[in-house]
Chains A and B, each alone.
Chain A
Amino acid sequence: MATISPMGRRIEISPGLVAWLGVLAALILLGFVNFIRQSTEGHHLTGLTNDNPWGLYIVGFVFFVGTSAGATIIGFMIHGFERKDYAPLGTRALVFGLMSLIGAILFITVDVGSIPRMMRLPFIWRNETSMFTYTSITYYFFAVLLVAEIYLAVKITRGQGSDSEKLWAKWLAIGAVPFALIVVHAPHGSLFAVVKAREFWNTPLLPPHFAVLALLSGISAMTLVATASSAASGRQVLSKETFSHLGALLGLFIAIAAVMDVFDFIVFSYSDTITGNTAMDFLRGSNLPFSIVHVGGYAVALTILLTKRGRQTPWLTVAAAVTLVAIASYRYNLTIVGQAPPLMPFLESPDYFPTWTESSIALAIVSFVLLGYSVLTRVLPMEEDAGSLSEIVKE
């Protein structure tokens, strides 16, 4: 069955698509029911405690702010490096970036104690010394930037873009990378880095580490977007050479992130403070599965990407997926282990693990991001429809 979207795009409604959207909708519904329970019965339904006040929701928030960088990377490839072979991914990247940012904001929304009060941040209530205030402003600006870019991309694809709009699209795409890295992602790391009471986070290296991880998350997410779109449409949206280039980029950024992690590890293993020792105990003890997925994930992905075949589908898909899971594990360890060292030497370390309620709400947000992406990339015109769309528009 097929239908035409309001934007003039032909949508194939296959049984596979219906099943995919159905599963996502079911997960969203389940998470929503649990979110209502959490709102009415209390946050005690999560695994959070006074000793470990940030958990899975903050991990999800940090993860999705990171993947939103993907939107800027592809735009910069197309307009900054003049790599027109990435053009088929342009609008998809922007849509994924926007949905990621919405996902990040949803994670904060389910985490806070009062949503109506959170809505007043930053335009009605704000504290200029709080990194939270600063980052919340940048998320809004980033979202506006992405919406503007999507609007221009859609107009251009439909053959309605003026020359000045094309120029705007180009310069917005080029400007988005420094904006994202310097204004959004590095300060995002400062949310943690400025907290003096948590020695594990309190390092000026955390903001650049966050910027590198944002690039890595973005490239992994875009690789998955490219391979998933190819699988869904039954034809390769990028050429073999472009996939290979994307694979090489992915490998390069895994290597950079891994080197940063190695030095982090060396510094902490030599640290004889309570924080250093506790962090190492956690990374090698209760958080070991996450440490294994983090380190092992990078190793597996790098090994795949070192081969020529590994930089083509389906291995490239595996490498990108494994990298994203490794990054999520790193984010989990960073958030949880950062709160593990006792504030005073005689206090116990907290013992946190996400509950079923918390996990189902997190899964619902991930599903919402995927559902939004799946629907929008079918309804909105994508670059490959340019010819047929302009005919529809003219009719």
Chain B
Amino acid sequence: MTTYGMVIDLDKCYGCRACMVACKIENNTPEGHFWMYMFRLEEGEYPNAKTTFLPRPCMHCEDAPCVTVCPVKARYKEENGTTSMDWDKCMGCRYCMIACPYGVNYFGWEEPEDISYLDWDDPDVKAATGGAVPGYANPDLDGRYGEKNAHIAGGAHKHGIVGKCSFCIHRVEKGLDPACVDNCPGLAMHFGDLDDPESNVSQLLQKQVGFQLLDETNTNPRVHYIGGSPPSKDARQLDIVKGKE
């Protein structure tokens, strides 16, 4: 059996947010949707204040509350341990967003071309694009995938459905790492099979004691953090990135 998981070395992360950008480019997510979000945090008080970083993809929880509550099974577990999202089934009730303790889900409040970073009708933009509006989809995910034969999130972004990190399963199937892992210049992110004791992720977890985010929720995330500690209660966010207001 394979159980995909991620290990993020907080000691190596220097907060460049390349993972956020890589995820955006790989998955064509609309503005304000951050399947990967990298929190820059400030903890403690001057002169003992310090800055810490916390990249946050979907945790692909073993006991995923989003899967339990989704009324139509649009959210489900694949045999490889990923929590998948069938966008073609999602009815947009947003119960998964309510139930997820990590806030990793994003609803399509409007069609993606209406919330893109660029105004496609702007004459300067039109001159560069020739009037073409990009398809907000991941071309590698436009078919059906996995044992559920589902349309995986990322295959489309549309008004009225929820999207979230897919663990870049289309890349993993080809033997590649997820885009955020591949593009991390600090080599802080690692991806592999948590069931294989020889895998890079298992080796890292054997060498260092890690933690899982909000472990009190008993969701057993498949994303583990090493080289740091969970954010303290007094942590404050710096440099908040939002969508277009």
| A-B complex: 10 closest residue pairs judged by Cβ atoms | A113-B92, A113-B160, A42-B110, A132-B71, A117-B91, A197-B101, A53-B94, A44-B109, A125-B72, A346-B235
Q: How far is the CA of A346 from the CA of B56 in the complex (A)?
A: 13
Stretch from A4-12, A255-263, A337-345 contacting the other chain: A337-345
Stretch from B20-28, B62-70, B190-198, B200-208 contacting the other chain: B62-70
B23-35: CB near A (< 8 Å → 1, else 0) gives 0000000001000
Do the beta carbons of A345 and B94 come within 8 Å of each other? no
Does residue B161 face the partner (Cβ distance < 8 Å to A)? yes
Does residue B73 face the partner (Cβ distance < 8 Å to A)? yes
Contacts of B97 in A (CB 8 A): 50, 53
Do the beta carbons of A43 and B71 come within 8 Å of each other? no
Interface size grouping (class) on chain A: 35 or more
Contacts of B162 in A (CB 8 A): 113
Interface residues of A (CB under 8 A from B): 41-44, 48-51, 53-54, 108, 111-114, 117-118, 120-122, 125-127, 129-133, 136, 194-198, 274, 339, 343-348
B155-174: CB near A (< 8 Å → 1, else 0) gives 00001111000000000000
Do the beta carbons of A48 and B109 come within 8 Å of each other? yes
A121, A195, A345: the one contacting B91 at CB < 8 Å is: A121
Q: How far is the CA of A112 from the CA of B92 in the complex (A)?
A: 5
Do the beta carbons of A54 and B100 come within 8 Å of each other? no
A50, A117, A127, A339: the one contacting B107 at CB < 8 Å is: A50
Do the beta carbons of B217 and A136 come within 8 Å of each other? no
Does residue B145 face the partner (Cβ distance < 8 Å to A)? no
Does residue B103 face the partner (Cβ distance < 8 Å to A)? yes
Task: Say yes or no: A344-B68 contact (C-beta < 8 A), given A42-B109, A53-B94.
Answer: no
Task: Say yes or no: A196-B71 contact (C-beta < 8 A), given A42-B109, A44-B110, A48-B109.
Answer: no
Contacts of B117 in A (CB 8 A): none
Do the beta carbons of B98 and A198 come within 8 Å of each other? yes
Contacts of A195 in B (CB 8 A): 65, 69, 98-99
Task: Say yes or no: A42-B90 contact (C-beta < 8 A), given A51-B103, A113-B108, A197-B101.
Answer: no
Q: How far is the CA of A194 from the CA of B98 in the complex (A)?
A: 11
B32, B101, B234, B236: the one contacting A196 at CB < 8 Å is: B101
Do the beta carbons of A130 and B161 come within 8 Å of each other? no
Do the beta carbons of B71 and A136 come within 8 Å of each other? yes
What distance in Å separates the Cβ of B114 from its nearest Cβ neighbour in chain A? Answer: 7
Contacts of A54 in B (CB 8 A): 94, 98
What distance in Å separates the Cβ of A115 from its nearest Cβ neighbour in chain B? Answer: 8
Q: How far is the CA of A120 from the CA of B73 in the complex (A)?
A: 12
What distance in Å separates the Cβ of A189 from its nearest Cβ neighbour in chain B? Answer: 15
Contacts of B111 in A (CB 8 A): 42
Do the beta carbons of A130 and B65 come within 8 Å of each other? no
What distance in Å separates the Cβ of B214 from its nearest Cβ neighbour in chain A? Answer: 7
- Kindly list 8 other residue pairs between chains A and B, CB separation below 8 angstroms, not including A125-B89, A126-B73, A129-B68: A48-B107, A53-B97, A54-B94, A113-B160, A130-B70, A130-B95, A131-B69, A197-B99
Do the beta carbons of A114 and B160 come within 8 Å of each other? yes
A46: nearest residue on chain B (CB-CB)?
B109
For this complex, 11 residue pairs linking A to B, each with C-beta atoms less than 8 Å apart, are A50-B97, A54-B94, A112-B93, A126-B72, A126-B73, A129-B69, A130-B68, A133-B72, A195-B98, A345-B233, A346-B237
Do the beta carbons of A127 and B90 come within 8 Å of each other? no
What distance in Å separates the Cβ of B77 from its nearest Cβ neighbour in chain A? Answer: 12
Most chain B beta-carbon contacts within 10 A, residue among A121, A131, A344: A344
Contacts of B160 in A (CB 8 A): 43, 112-114
B232: nearest residue on chain A (CB-CB)?
A345
Does residue B82 face the partner (Cβ distance < 8 Å to A)? no
What distance in Å separates the Cβ of A92 from its nearest Cβ neighbour in chain B? Answer: 33
B214: nearest residue on chain A (CB-CB)?
A344
